[in-house]
Amino acid sequence: MPELPGPYEVFEIAENETRCFHVTKYEIGTVTIQPRYPGAPRRKQVEAIRVHVLPGEKPYIPLYWDITQRHLVAYLKPLLPKIVREKLKVCITAVLTKPGVRASKRFKISLEKA
């Protein structure tokens, strides 16, 4: 799997935040991240989906996000052709499932017709 070219724009979303966007195109590859949890390796290569979004759906450039969260990648990857073809709006909400030092987030995802 090829490494996505920089600059990286890692998709981060706060607990109970919802972010909606349209995927105009996507790329699948890997990115090198710097995990922040205690005991994490300095660098780690992970699978990522780069989703390009419409102007106005992201307030600054580049107009894409690199989705690296394993649960999101696994869920979205098979749906991306349909999302792009049918111009569906993707809405992602972060849900905290395990509070504490090694907090764990999961995501609610809805697809809406434009």
- Write the pLDDT tens digit of every residue in 68-112: 999 999 999 999 999 999 999 999 999 988 766 566 789 999 999
The answer to whether 88 and 54 are in contact (CB under 8 A) is: no
Q: How many helical (H) and strand (E) elements, i.e. helices and strands, does the chain have? A: 2, 5
In a domain, 6, yes or no: no
* Top-confidence residue, 40 or 53: 53
Count of domains observed in the chain: 1
Distance between CA 30 and CA 75 in Å, rounded?
Answer: 16
In a domain, 11, yes or no: no
In a domain, 7, yes or no: no
Q: What average pLDDT does the chain have?
A: 92
Mean pLDDT to the nearest integer, 37-52: 90
In a domain, 102, yes or no: yes
Four-point Cα dihedral 80, 65, 74, 39, nearest 10 = 170
**By CB neighbour count within 10 A (0-12 exposed, 13-18 middle, 19+ buried), where does 23 fall?**
buried
Distance between CA 71 and CA 93 in Å, rounded?
Answer: 13
In a domain, 50, yes or no: yes
Domain with 65, as residue range(s), is 18-112
The answer to whether 74 and 16 are in contact (CB under 8 A) is: no
What is the reported pLDDT for 34?
A: 84
pLDDT over 90 percentage in the chain: 77
What is the reported pLDDT for 100?
A: 64
In a domain, 67, yes or no: yes
In a domain, 9, yes or no: no
pLDDT at 63 over 90: yes
